[in-house]
A and B are shown apart, each in its own frame.
Chain A
Amino acid sequence: MFAARRIEYVKTLLKKVGIDPARLEMYNLSAAMGPRWAEMCDEFVDRIRNLGPSPIWLASRKQSEKGVTEQ
């Protein structure tokens, strides 16, 4: 599957810029698999929660805080 290989490639790019590749995942399922879909969503949300805020979000916030105090 071409998409799967591309996801793997993008993971290597994310790693290069300092983003944990675990923040990107590809899931495979059919439109009739509603319950499984919910499960996957929960699973991924849990994973991201455990990883914490993204470094980009953290850096942006730090900067805006700095902006506020400076003002």
Chain B
Amino acid sequence: MIVGKQKPFDEIWDMVKGFKKVLVYGCNTCVAICHAGGSKEAELLASMLRMRAKQEGLDLLIDSAGIERHCEPEFFEPLDEKVKTYDLILSTACGVGVNFLADRLAGAIPVYPGINTSFYGAVPEAGFFVELCGGCGNCILHLTGGICPIVRCSKSLMNGPCGGTDKGKCEVSSETDCAWFLIVERMKKLGTLEKLFEVQPPRDWSTATHGGPRRISLEHIRAYEAEEEKKATLTGEGK
């Protein structure tokens, strides 16, 4: 899932204080799981902003709302009219949600981010989130025992550990595991250590963000959807 963290309160306040009618808009999928931007957190943040506004003597209306997802258009529809009555949307969705809503509102109302979208991660225990994938668009986990060297190695090395590994930890921090230490140990257990002996050539990074903005288009689904829509319009006309 996508993991984020609420921005520092003072930073949010500086973004918000110049407006009159603000909607703190939560998303109840990934960012709700990481306690950063679900309906509950949006409500709490709205309440804190109201307390701050009162103290500063500012006449600011701050409401909150939440929907299941900010990354698919149909989820926005029920609140579209309500959203248009505000002069700022403080989104606590991930960066995808902020972009998607801002595109939807097309410059009519600003959409500001209430959280810092951090990484793709897992939740090994309640309240603890770790980055495990970099979304590079060209997966090699079958070669590395299911451990991603692109984000779990501080140097994204592809051919084994650097000289900075110390007692299984990374030179960047004694709290960070050396990904290559883990990979070697895992490959030994899998009985496939020799896979690591082969030199991996320079990667094609164009599948990562270095090839420009990425998109995936499933033509068969898009064609089907277009056809269904056409049918619907036709039967609609028949009535």
Q: Which residues of A contact B (CB under 8 A)?
A: 13, 16-19, 55-56, 59-60, 62-63
> What mask results when residues 206 to 225 of chain B are scored 1 for a CB within 8 Å of chain A, else 0?
00000000000000000000
> What mask results when residues 32 to 62 of chain B are scored 1 for a CB within 8 Å of chain A, else 0?
0000000000001000100110111100000
Residues of chain B within 8 A (CB-CB) of A55 are 55
How far is A17 from B51 in the complex, measured between Cα atoms in Å? 7
Residue B205, interface by CB 8 Å: no
Residue B9, interface by CB 8 Å: yes
How far is A22 from B177 in the complex, measured between Cα atoms in Å? 40
How far is A24 from B9 in the complex, measured between Cα atoms in Å? 20
Residues of chain B within 8 A (CB-CB) of A56 are 51, 54-55
A-B pairs under 8 A by CB, number: 25
Which residue, of B44, B48, B52, B54, has the highest number of chain A Cβ atoms within 10 A? B54
Q: How many residues of B contact A (CB 8 A)?
A: 10
In the complex with contacts A16-B9, A17-B9, A59-B48 CB distance below 8 A:
no
How far is A62 from B54 in the complex, measured between Cα atoms in Å? 11
Flag if B48 contacts A16 (CB, 8 Å).
yes
In the complex with contacts A13-B44, A16-B9, A17-B9, A59-B54 CB distance below 8 A:
yes
In the complex with contacts A17-B9, A17-B51, A19-B51, A59-B44 CB distance below 8 A:
no
How far is A13 from B8 in the complex, measured between Cα atoms in Å? 11
How far is A42 from B51 in the complex, measured between Cα atoms in Å? 26
Residues of chain B within 8 A (CB-CB) of A62 are 57
10 tightest CB-CB pairs across the interface, nearest first? A16-B9, A17-B51, A56-B54, A17-B52, A59-B55, A55-B55, A17-B48, A59-B57, A63-B57, A59-B54
New A-B contacts (5) at CB < 8 Å, excluding given A17-B52, A18-B52, A55-B55: A16-B48, A17-B48, A17-B55, A18-B55, A62-B57
How far is A13 from B10 in the complex, measured between Cα atoms in Å? 12
Which residue, of A13, A17, A19, A63, has the highest number of chain B Cβ atoms within 10 A? A17
